[in-house]
Amino acid sequence: MDALLRQIAAVVGDGNVLTGEAVTARRVDWLSGAPCQAGAIVRPGSTAELAEVMRLCHVARQPVVTHGGLTGLVHGAETAKDELAVSLERMTAIEDVDPIGATLTVQAGAPLQSVQEAAEAVDLQFALDLGARGSCTIGGNIATNAGGIRVIRYGMMRQQVLGLEAVLADGTVVSSMNHMLKNNAGFDLKQLFIGSEGTLGIVTRAVLHLQPPTSDMQTALVACPSFEAVTGLLAHLAQTLGGSLAAFEVMWQSHYRLLTEESSRHRPPLATDSPYYVILESLGNDPQSHAAQFGRALEGALESELVSDAVLAQSGSQRQALWDIREDIEGLLQALSPLFAFDISLPIPAMEGYVTRLEAALADDWPGARMVTFGHLGDGNLHISISTGSADPTTRRAVERLVYTPLAELGGSVSAEHGIGLEKRDYLALSRTPEEIGLMHTLKRALDPYGLLNRHKVLAPEAG
């Protein structure tokens, strides 16, 4: 590796090949804080530099793991001592913003928040939004097909990407920087890289689709007396708010009570005795008519007894206080450590029974276990946090089986938005057929015949 690193340093510069303590000082697992173990971290400054780095690694059969903002939750950035980490932290430029075509061209290392701000500067918006916006990168968002809090209105990252550029394992640059909404000229190659977690190529640049701005935002926290009321509320809002509904975030009582009354981290805006709480958010352009529409929707929900209590945010600070309860992952870590975190999806009608059965199964095996549930219920995504008091691998595998196994029968997915990485690789077959997994291996062999890119992530090594 030393000889290879000297060759790479001649491409990217000596100061952009990090070794020793500069490597181990970085944390590659957001939950555990595990240090990076890579042989070195390479920081190219352009697509051309990365292409040459990958050409050298391909000749040397050197495995590579791509690093973005390191906010992932499935060990996708985990790097062994015999692997190189390639960080795109120097490739952060926003190259162009086209307010007429509503596109933004950006390098993959740019943080999500900087893209949001660049769009706002030309009176547009980039619709993807998630709690790690200040740290996560556009390349990472693309590689994991990130979701976030506005999927119900705008879709996932896949829906925001018009074109991209990627470097393959052998250094080939595939530039498909399309700027058009409609382009049916052959295969849509960008889809190969979106959501493939760096296993088929390294995304270096992207053309993103921007949305018109929304000048008015209405946010409320409501309490619901039953899960039937929660689903009824979702249907009611879809009818009364239509396309303006942007977020429908549900907190089970376990989450809401823990982060308010029990931990005292947040003042509870509503009493903590309801089984479900929902953060509702609607986006519109006419403040007066939009506020009236939102108010009528809430009144209708109260009259129909879909909602037992409600509080409407009257300012930006009040809105943030509501979202802080939903997004306080640090509070969950402090209260439940050691914590097992899960990101799943399943049909909405199956959620109540699934959660109830999982809680019972955990109590049978670990009487003192705690389970906290919340999520983007409007798009079928739940986040489940479990603490059994032990973090040993045997316990973790047992908990994983309880969480994941029922999803196969329900038609659910072991990963809604966080990806597969190493953590969920062995459970992929619960959500994908043998034929689908076989095709994934075929694509991997075709684009990365030596298995150098993010090896062993997503797909298990093939026998033989």
Alpha-carbon distances of 137 from 1, 174, 193, 197, 234, rounded to whole Å: 28, 20, 15, 13, 31
CATH entry 3.30.70.100 includes domain 216-327: no
Q: What number is the average pLDDT over the span 289-308?
A: 97
**Phi, psi of 69, rounded to the nearest 5 degrees:** -85, -5
Residue 72 burial class via C-beta count within 10 angstroms: exposed 0-12, middle 13-18, buried 19 and up: buried
Alpha-carbon distances of 225 from 12, 213, 312, 326, rounded to whole Å: 59, 35, 18, 19
The predicted-structure confidence for 63-78, as pLDDT tens digits, reads as follows 999 999 998 989 899 9
Of 464 and 194, more confident:
194
Alpha-carbon span 92 to 367, nearest angstrom? 49
Question: What pTM value is reported for the model?
Answer: 0.93
CB atoms within 10 A of CB 118: 19
Residue 34: per-residue pLDDT? 83
Contact 339, 386 (CB under 8 A): yes
Query: Which helix H or strand E contains 356, and what residues bound it?
Result: helix 351-365
What confidence tier does 153 reach under pLDDT thresholds 50, 70, 90? Answer: very high
Residue 86: per-residue pLDDT? 98
CATH entry 3.30.465.10 includes domain 94-209: yes
> For the chain, how many residues are written?
464
The predicted-structure confidence for 319-373, as pLDDT tens digits, reads as follows 999 999 999 989 999 999 999 999 999 999 999 999 999 999 999 999 999 999 9
Residue 370: per-residue pLDDT? 97
Pairing state of beta strands 381-387 and 370-375? Answer: antiparallel
Residue 346 DSSP SS3:
coil
Which residues fall within 8 angstroms of residue 147, CB to CB, at 6 or more apart? 130, 156, 157, 376, 379, 381, 416, 417
**Over the range 32-64, which residues count as b (16 or more CB within 10 Å of their CB) and which as e?**
eeeebbbbbbbbbbebebbbbbbbbbbeeebbb
So what CATH class is 330-430? alpha beta
Strand order in the sheet with 340-345: 309-312, 216-224, 276-284, 245-252, 370-375, 381-387, 340-345
Taking the domains of the chain in order of start, what are their residue ranges? 2-87, 94-209, 216-327, 330-430
> Do the domains 216-327 and 330-430 sit in the same CATH topology, yes or no?
yes
Residue 242: per-residue pLDDT? 83
CATH entry 3.30.43.10 includes domain 2-87: yes
What DSSP character marks residue 141? H
Pairing state of beta strands 64-67 and 173-176? Answer: unpaired
**Is 70 exceeded by the pLDDT of residue 464?**
no
Share of the chain above pLDDT 70, in %: 100
**Is 80 exceeded by the pLDDT of residue 420?**
yes
**Is 80 exceeded by the pLDDT of residue 398?**
yes
